[in-house]
Amino acid sequence: MKAIVTVMLKPGVLDPQGRAIGHALETLGFDGIGDVRAGKIIELELAETDAGKAKAAAEAMADKLLANTVIESYRVEVV
């Protein structure tokens, strides 16, 4: 079973990478760019066959390692 963990900076946390991406897009001629936030997506292939247990395991992984929960939030989707 596959779990997808999406990690993003929490609102209010400065995002210099997102700001640099937004500036680069404007430099390339893309108009109307508002706030840009950068994050990461982590795909986990899990041996678990129960969706609920797979989600719980992926959430535990995100809490302990994949996300810095002081400044980042995460979302887990099991597919």
pLDDT tens-digit map of 60-78: 999 999 999 999 999 999 9
Assign domain 2-78 to a CATH class. Answer: alpha beta
Q: What is the pTM of this model?
A: 0.90
What pLDDT is stored for residue 70 in this prediction? 98
What pLDDT is stored for residue 19 in this prediction? 97
Q: Delimit the domains of the chain by residue range.
A: 2-78
What pLDDT is stored for residue 53 in this prediction? 98
- Residue 60 sits at φ, ψ, to 5 deg, of -65, -40
Nearest to 4 by CA among 35, 44, 53: 44
Nearest to 5 by CA among 59, 46, 50: 59
Greatest alpha-carbon span in the chain? 47
pLDDT tens-digit map of 11-59: 999 999 999 999 999 999 999 999 999 999 999 999 999 999 999 999 9
What pLDDT is stored for residue 59 in this prediction? 98
Cβ partners under 8 Å of residue 65, min gap 6: none
